[in-house]
Structure formats: C-alpha cells, structure tokens
A and B are shown apart, each in its own frame.
Chain A
Amino acid sequence: MALKRVGAQTVKLSNPPSMISAASIVGPKEGDGPLKDYYDLILEDDLWGEESFEKAETKIQEETIKLAIQNADLSPNQIEYLFSGDLLNQITSSGYAARQLAIPYFGLYGACSTMVKALSLGAMVIDGGFADRVVCATSSHFSSAERQFRFPLEYGAQRPFTSQWTVTGAGATVLSSTGNGPYITYITTGRIQDYGITDANNMGAAMAPAAVDTIARHFKDTGYNPEDYDLIITGDLASIGKNILLDLIRKEGYDLSNNYTDCGVKIFDNIRQDTHAGASGCGCAAAVLNSYIYEELLKGNLNRVLLVATGALHSPTSILQSESIPGIAHGITIDNMVL
C-alpha cells in the first residue's frame, strides 16, 4: 500500500527529511547579479584554473558538494547517496565530480529540473528508510553549455530576445533524517508537457505548460491554495515564461500574482547584464535554492516555499531534426515547520 500518496502525482513524506546544509558556488557574472550577497563563493574566473570549461564545471560541482557536506560538519564518507546531474552529454560533469567524492552515486538527467528531481528522490530515499544522509546537487556552465547547444563563444551571433543565459554555477543540499529543518514535506512529480514548441531559443514557452500542470496538480492533490505559500518559485522560465505561467495558471483558477517568481528572473539584472529573457541551466534553480531561498528560510523570512524546477528535455540532435521540446517540471514543498 502506498500510504504516502496524496492525489494523482503527489507524495506526502511521513518523516520529512531536513535540509541540514546548503552550498552554492557561482561564476563572476552571476556574482555580479542581484543575489550576490547570498552565494557561498563567487569565482573570479569561470575556468577556475582548469584547462577546459568542462573541467571547470566538474570542479565547481565537486567543490560545491564538498562545501555543503562541510557546512553540515560531516565528511563525504558519512553520506550514503549522491544524487546529481548536469546538462552535458552523458552528464559527465556529475560523473567526474562523483569519481573524486566516492559516495554511492545516482546520476540524473532532467535538464534544468534536475535539482528538484534530485531532492525528490533523495527525500524519498530518506523517508523510505533507505538512508539517513544524502546529498543532492546540480551544476551548469555557460561556456560548456554554449559549445554543446549553440555557437562558439567568439562567433558573432545575435541572440534573440527570448534566449536565456546559462548559469555558471552549482548548488548542493545535504538532506538528513534528523535535523531542525527546513523540511521537504511534499513532492509533486511532473508529467511531460509538449505543445509542439520547436524553438530552442524560447525554452520559457516550451516549459511553462509543464510548470502550470505541476503547480495546478500540486494544489489539487494537497488541497492547498497559492495563499498557503510565502513563495512559489519556478526554476528557469525567465521573464517571458514567467508571464506565460501567470496567465495560463489564472485560466486554471489560481492567482499567483502576489507570491510567485522565477529563479531565472532572480539571478541576473537582465537589462544591465544583457541576459535577454533571464537565466537558465541546472545551476539556476540549484544556486537560487541553496543560497537565497535556503538563507531566507533559515532567517524565517520565508516559512513555506513551493519550488518547481523546470526542464526542457531536448538535445541538439532533436532540434536539428525539428522535433518539439518536451517540458517537465518537478515540485517540492519546503516547510520550516512540520505540521
């Protein structure tokens, strides 16, 4: 009997795991953005002394995980599982980071939704009694993503207004069966939504229906309303996707205009930093959660957050073959108090 299920897509954790520590490391451009006071470390150079952007991304992820574990006064051998992912082919950044850490490792691919996917699985593993301590992490790097998905850095191309800027950075959270919160209390796992968007430069539009579906489903399954949350925040819909979500979810009967924003809107000052629609990448939701959201939860300025990370599950090959972009969104409720 699946006693913990509530509704069609949500589980309510009976022993909610505590987010006992968090860490974030970001690149120089992110460190110049509005959330600069929240990050653990801001790099001066996005290569971080490495010889390739891929190696730099691995180092960023690995060091972020180490920092999160260190912030919890633990050592890697006390962690039972590592759930992590990134954007590169065959999630190599995560694999190489896990190679150094020697923690039993589940590599995940959910594009930019991976942070919440990792937290969902990590929380369920703890709640199910399979582990006491897990670490969940994701990373992305602007320059490694550009060369895989778009053009060489020095190529003089114009970016459309709908395009988003991949975050250079990583975030990691340590979950524990014991601790004083904040707790992960509900998990709403998304369904793929694909409305036939084929423009990889308009990911906000491709992912917004998935976020609408998951958020509406979360409210239906749990019986909560938008007012029950201090903050409802999506992963990386950015400015265009954010407005699409607000509009579409109003048609579903929910008004999110008072307490909704998007991590992709928070990271950069789009006008000053010339990031067009906003931020994206696995590192986007991960860095915002493990800096700004986590800190505000600890301070008590936020007590109940619905984090819905969004992912566009296309590849360069699928785009060249004119396939549409499947969108996904996974949600978790983070509570300071367990009811």
Chain B
Amino acid sequence: MENMSNKEYQKYIEERTPKPTYVKNMVLAFIVGGLICVLGQIILNMLSKHGLDKEQAASGTSILMVFTGSFLTGIGVYDWIGKVGGAGAAIPITGFANSIVSPAMEFKKEGFIFGVASKMFNIAGPVLVYGVGSSVVIGMLYIILTGGG
C-alpha cells in the first residue's frame, strides 16, 4: 500500500465503485414524477370544474399537493416513494413538503423551538435561499433588460 499514492488509490476506488443505475433511475423518476403531476392535474381540473378561477385553482392545487406530501410523510410512505422515484419524488411540491415535514418529525424530541422549528429547514433551507435569491436576480435582470416594461 505504501507505494500507492492518494490519486492512484482514488482512481482504483472509482473503478471498483458500482455506478448508479442511471437508466432505471431515470425511468422510475419519470413514472413517479409523472404520476405525481397527473394527480396534481386531476386536482386542478376538479377545482376548476367546481367554479374556481385559474389562479384560485392553482393555489388550491399547491395547497392540496403540499398536504398530500406531508400526510404521506407523516404516515411513513413518502420515504419509500422517494427511494423508488428519486428526483421524480423530490422535485414536485410533494417532495418539498417531505423535506420540511421529515426533519420536523425527526427533531421533535429536541423541543419545539430548537428541534422542530429550527431543524425544519435543514434540507429545504438551501432551496428557499437560492430559490428566492435567484428570483431576485432574474427580476433585476428583467428590469434592466426590458426597462421595466
């Protein structure tokens, strides 16, 4: 081992590390993500049918999808959906709900202030920071490039 450099060892390990099953993961992400979106679309259509306008129906759909993600996290199902669906389960708004509810549940033992409230954004925090941050930057670019028109 002594004549093996760090670089050589890391290369050796890379060759011996099983690669993720990309094709299978992508197909599953497509199916799971697609099903979540179909569910969203069904909710949206139903809300529209019951007389909500476009904006109200969209808000209602988000609210119900967040509830669904949180509920499935609470009853211990969403971790399984996430394991199967990968990015297909993480990217829709249900995955965002899962990323907030799961640490909130996990850290309840540490109390409601420094546990639940503080740890709740452990995973979702970066998404919020960079999501809000990038929308501000794009908004400013929009104003500069179009002159606010």
Q: Do A and B come from one complex?
A: yes
Q: Identify which of B10, B16, B85, B102 gathers the most chain A CB atoms within 10 Å of its CB.
A: B16
B contact residues around A251 at 8 Å (CB) = 1
Q: How far is the CB of B65 from chain A (nearest CB, A)?
A: 15
- A162 and B19 CA atoms in complex are apart in Å by 9
B contact residues around A244 at 8 Å (CB) = 13, 16
Contact B13 A154 (CB under 8 A): no
Contact A161 B109 (CB under 8 A): no
A contact residues around B81 at 8 Å (CB) = 156
- A35 and B5 CA atoms in complex are apart in Å by 38
The A contact surface, by secondary structure, is loop
Partner of B18, one of A147, A158, A240: A240
Give B92-110 as 1s and 0s: 1 = Cβ < 8 Å from A's Cβ atoms: 0001001101110111010
Contact B6 A156 (CB under 8 A): no
How many residues in B have their beta carbons less than 8 Å from beta carbons of A?
37
Give A142-182 as 1s and 0s: 1 = Cβ < 8 Å from B's Cβ atoms: 00000100011111111111100000000000000000000
Q: Closest B-chain residue to A202, C-beta based?
A: B17
Q: How far is the CB of B118 from chain A (nearest CB, A)?
A: 13
Contact A155 B99 (CB under 8 A): yes
- A121 and B102 CA atoms in complex are apart in Å by 41
Contact A209 B20 (CB under 8 A): no
Q: Does A77 contact B (CB under 8 A)?
A: no
Contact B1 A196 (CB under 8 A): no
Partner of A153, one of B86, B102, B109: B102
Contact A240 B16 (CB under 8 A): yes
Give B31-51 as 1s and 0s: 1 = Cβ < 8 Å from A's Cβ atoms: 000000000000000000000
Q: Closest B-chain residue to A147, C-beta based?
A: B106
Contact B98 A243 (CB under 8 A): no
B contact residues around A157 at 8 Å (CB) = 79, 82-83
Contact B103 A162 (CB under 8 A): no
Residues 29-84 of B contacting A (Cβ, < 8 Å): 73-74, 76, 78-83
Partner of A156, one of B9, B18, B89: B89
Contact A205 B103 (CB under 8 A): no
Partner of B78, one of A147, A154, A193, A252: A154
B contact residues around A240 at 8 Å (CB) = 16-18
Q: Does A195 contact B (CB under 8 A)?
A: yes
Could you pull out 7 A-B pairs where Cβ atoms are within 8 angstroms?
Answer: A52-B109, A151-B102, A153-B102, A156-B85, A156-B102, A159-B83, A197-B9
Residues of chain A at the chain B interface (Cβ within 8 Å): 51-52, 147, 151-162, 193, 195-197, 202, 205, 209, 212-213, 216, 240, 243-244, 248, 251-252
